[in-house]
A and B are shown apart, each in its own frame.
Chain A
Amino acid sequence: MTQQQTAGPPAAGHADPAEEFLDRQTPLSRIRNILHRYPALSPAIVLLVAVVVFGLLNERFLRVENLSLITQQVSVVGTLAIAQTLIILTAGIDLSVGAVMILASMVVAQLAVGSGMPAPLALLLGLVVGLAAGALNGFLVTRFRLPPFIVTLGTLNIFIAVTLLYSGGSTVRGSSMPGLLTWMGSTFPVGPVRISTGVVMMLLLYIAVAFILGKTAWGRHVYAVGDDKEAARLAGIPVNRVLMSVYLAAGAVLAVGAWIQIGRTNAASPNAGVDLNLDSITAVVIGGTSLFGGRGSIWGSLLGALIVGVFRNGLSLAGLDVLYQTLAVGVLIILAVSIDQWIRKVKS
């Protein structure tokens, strides 16, 4: 600015050279501003490009059966990503999402099959398990001020152990379960496509959470807490209550995820879903939500989950070894985080 001031009188047509200096934008910074404003935009572009490229590589990719399959494949991770997004938006991270979901699914299956409990009651108790797990995480994060990473690393191991102790390590097969438990795996035709109930349930959850995050004070407080905790506190937001409610909400979503998981795999297995916590983080990060909190969109996470699903499916249809899928996902994560860092540098 001092340069501007010493450069003599302002150029004709510009009332204030300082203003001009502040508002100067390059095409690149303009793109950055747009991406900054709409965090779901970059994953949307990536998904579109990926679909087009894989469609060109293999004509089978764009067939409706295949696309329907991809949505079913992402229904579980997509649901976990909802819980993960809520927590990451508060600048936290939850390594225990997969373990909580598996624990809830085992409780539901054991109660319904082993104890002969009515299916709706078993599902309700599964919800209680999810809420209790969320409450434990939230309690440790808010009361003891422990970093969420450490808390959920601990509870991850606890929940895995509890699941194995409770289930005795045995799998409950879907064929022995009441129909309601495996209902999420059933499909119904919509025109030429077969849609699974689990996918519909996941989408309903996305709509509900998107509504809550975007339209209610609670949603705004979640962003504010993740953005700057101290600023939120000074603005009169009950930070700990918001954090606690986020972990509880995540637990509830995970319980629904357990239901979807039982339907999708047609079983409840204590050994399933070991990588689901990392997969959900991957979906959220690729979806453009910042790991530093306060920035991101729930729809981005759905797109992120779809991107991972599309890459895995597309690469395998292209005849590439499964290891290349993992490689591609790794590259995607690093790209997504790099883009996020770049976007965050916007006009600081």
Chain B
Amino acid sequence: MTATEFQPAKTEVRQPILQARNLVKTFGRVVGLDGVSLNLYPGEVLAIIGDNGAGKSTLIKCLTGAEVPDSGELFVSGQQVHFKRPQDARVHGIETVYQNLAVSPALDVASNLFLGREERLPGPLGKLFRVLDTKGMRRKAKEELTRLGISTLQDVTVPVENLSGGQRQAVAVARAAAFGSKVVVLDEPTAALGVRESNQVLQLVRDLRDRGLPVILISHNMPHVFDVADRIHIQRLGKCAATITPQSHSMTDAVAIMTGAATA
């Protein structure tokens, strides 16, 4: 459906929201990234796949500030950036949902959505006594969940540990979507989920894209990747082996490229 939109000829016109050029990252003698470049365009879902040790996680960590690349350049909306910690990426509108789910189980849904950027009451209560605007945050959390079409989370006062895996993932994704003004990065969002919950999360990914927010999706699950991705970046041995689309290649082709049995 969108394959034609991302032909090379067109990409020259569109400015990538997030661009990586020749990223290199080594861990001692192990080469994690060996000169990887990547472009993320507005309104697309870019999947990153690859075998274990291919450099998927390292790539993502370099893009989100969790690791600092040895060399290479990063651009957000054409402006060069240097991320030293996750907060730096966040400041530039890049929100990440980590594989191990950065949610606090004992805190409720609303508190988790606003964790680390709580809002205070207006007036002296908030300024002087630093009182949280709990009601306001709950209302906004509800609005945000409704906006994202997450219907499974009606009560934002429930502790996250009482939620199912899919609902927790939805909380994490909702947080990223609520604050990620430019890019949302999802690391294996469906890895621990059942069929129905996976579908909910995939739908969420589509909704984000439809709202114009580009998504980077890291996954091992080929059907999921081919289901939602507009383009697929295949990592192999620390390099980008190919960038394909679900229309141009089959799942078998993708696996073949991933394992080195074929080239694009």
Interface residues of A (CB under 8 A from B): 1, 18, 22, 33, 36-37, 211, 215-218, 220-221, 223-224, 227-228, 230-237, 294-295, 346-348
Contacts and interface: CB of A to CB of B under 8 A. Distances in A.
Contacts of B104: 223-224, 227-228, 231-232, 235, 294
B16 to A, nearest CB: 25
B162 A346 contact: yes
A1 B197 CA distance: 13
Contacts of B118: 217, 220
A217 B132 contact: yes
Contacts of A218: 130
A234 B65 CA distance: 11
Given A33-B162, A217-B120, A236-B90, A228 B105 contact: yes
| A1, A36, A216 interface centre (most CB from chain B within 10 Å) | A216
A1 B196 CA distance: 11
Interface of B (DSSP majority class): loop
B94 to A, nearest CB: 12
A231 B100 contact: yes
Q: Chain B contact residues (Cβ within 8 angstroms of A): what range? A: 20 to 34
A198 B134 CA distance: 33
Interface stretch (B4-12, B109-117, B248-256): B109-117
A348 B101 contact: no
A236 B112 CA distance: 12
Contact of A236 (B86, B107, B194): B86
A215 B115 CA distance: 14
A216 B194 contact: no
B98 interface: yes
Given A36-B162, A234-B96, A346-B162, 11 more contacts: A216-B131, A217-B120, A218-B130, A220-B115, A223-B107, A227-B105, A230-B100, A235-B104, A235-B115, A294-B105, A347-B162
Given A216-B130, A294-B104, A234 B111 contact: no
B161 interface: yes
Interface in B105-143: 105-107, 111, 115-118, 120, 129-132, 134
A346 B101 CA distance: 19
B46 to A, nearest CB: 22
